[in-house]
Amino acid sequence: MLKYRVGKSETCHYKTIQEAINAVPYNTSAEIFIEAGIYKEKIFCEKSDLTIIGENCKNTIITFSDGAKFKDADGDNINTFRSYTAFFGGENIRVENLSIFNEAGESKTAGQSLAVYADAKNVTFKNVYMKSCQDTLFLAPMPEKERITGGFKGPREYVPRFLTKQTYISCKIEGDIDFIFGGADTVFYECDIVSVGESGYVTAPSGKEDGLGLVFYKCRFLSNSEKHSHYLGRPWRKFGKTTLIDCFVGEHIKPEGWDFWNEEENKNTCFFAEYNCNYPKNYTKNRVSWAKELTDSELNYIMSEIEKHIAEKPRTHDRSFTVLLIGGASGTGKSTLAYELGKFYGINVLEVDDIYLTAERSEIANWQDVSVEENVNWLVDMSKELSPALKAIVERHIEDNVPIIIEGDFICTEMVKSFKNPEVKAIFVSESDKQQIIENYFSREGGNLQEFRAEISVSYGSHIKEQGVKTIEARPFNTALNRTIEMIGRG
């Protein structure tokens, strides 16, 4: 397999992602690894078999700022389907461990602004954060005909439509209006779907009458928006389908749930359903009368399709765990180690920071204005507060037999010691050299507060060591992976 590395270090083949993509012949299987950094690029990718892996989701960011209302070099509107930050076409595309943003702004000024245009025949995203406002993620194909002349202007305007199969695992998708839309048969598994803004619609499906549509399985629909301000979806075309199974639905979703896009006929033809979902206490749920109730045969069919989408590929190496927790202070290199382990074992990585977004939590004053000790105390308290949510995730992965690596600052030592199941293993990464932590910080971002951050990390790391949990020294870096694998294998 052809392999390229993108970034600023001397070991990299290219400095930009597009250069690396262009270097891959269409019919050659290839893997592109992207070092942590911010890449201000508009990506066009069309290959037969390509994997793109970021160093980690939080700090490997592809960003651009095109909006449908903006003008191109000829003075024409860019329009929706040319506004993408990243276009993925071809046959098989896998994207992991990075973020893709469109920062054009709100729809009233920028119009639609795609972060991702996913058009390959088989698409798999794992641990990818996609963020925009209107139309964040487009799941090709487009409908056969546009409603407004020129509305489909873009890379697939004149080509025949073909059905795509798409899968999103442990991703975070953020937007306001129709921010997950299109005609693909798509499964979202354990994703966070985050609504922003004063109002909006999560999904806008446009698939075929006999298609799977958009299926959300064990996902969380979250928001900091006002109560009852967003819809779960509306049909972009009359046979649009969205189904939620075993999901959590926040109180930002309107009681009626679904909208029919001002077309009475859509009430009879679209398919919107929720099955065995959870809602906040005292949530008012009064769904529209034309929402569907899944029959046993429909549920069985959808579950079989979910299994096909998320079926685990053969592991790269055998492992002795189902869930591996990797904790430690910030700046120790634990994220890099976690993703190297994920690649080694062929499994996904979840960052605990993603849980922090929605947890009811105590707040801290501006961290730079309080002492090192106060910061450490807050980190310890926050770890304890997040433990119930994190423990539920661990238990769910054990129950479903879905392997995962969970890493982050907020992994509580007391919670780790409470696990008696041999399928759960934990390790904490240690780095006591403040200067080394400062260098780790500066490799990702600048700023004049890195020395203070490093002091907090050293102190927090010392606290963790005092708790008697299993720790591993971050250095030497070139042996950390093998040392960790050996330690995990010893139980």
Q: Does the pTM exceed 0.75? A: no
CA distance 455 to 446: 16
Residue 245's pLDDT is 97
CA distance 260 to 239: 11
Residue 314's pLDDT is 43
Q: Which residue ranges form the domains of the chain, and what is each CATH number? A: 2-310 (2.160.20.10), 323-489 (3.40.50.300)
Q: What are phi and psi of 382, to 5 degrees?
A: -65, -40
The two most distant CA atoms of the chain are separated, in Å, by: 67
Two structure tokens written together for 324: 């591996």
Two structure tokens written together for 439: 């260098």
C-alpha distances (whole Å) from 109 to each of 61, 66, 103, 309, 382 are 24, 11, 12, 37, 38
* pLDDT digit string (tens) for the chain, length 491 residues: 899 999 999 889 999 999 999 999 999 999 999 999 999 999 999 999 999 999 999 999 999 999 999 999 999 999 999 999 999 999 999 999 999 999 999 999 999 999 999 999 999 999 999 999 999 999 999 999 998 888 999 999 999 999 999 999 999 999 999 999 999 999 999 999 999 999 999 999 999 999 999 999 999 999 999 999 999 999 999 999 999 999 999 999 999 999 999 999 999 999 999 999 999 988 989 999 999 999 999 999 999 999 999 885 444 577 889 999 999 998 898 988 888 888 788 888 888 866 654 555 556 657 788 899 998 998 899 889 889 988 989 998 898 888 999 999 989 999 999 998 999 999 999 998 888 888 776 655 556 678 888 899 999 999 999 998 999 998 887 788 888 988 887 55
Q: Write the CB contacts of 100 (distance below 8 Å, at least 6 apart in sequence).
A: 61, 62, 63, 85, 86, 115, 116, 128, 129, 130, 131
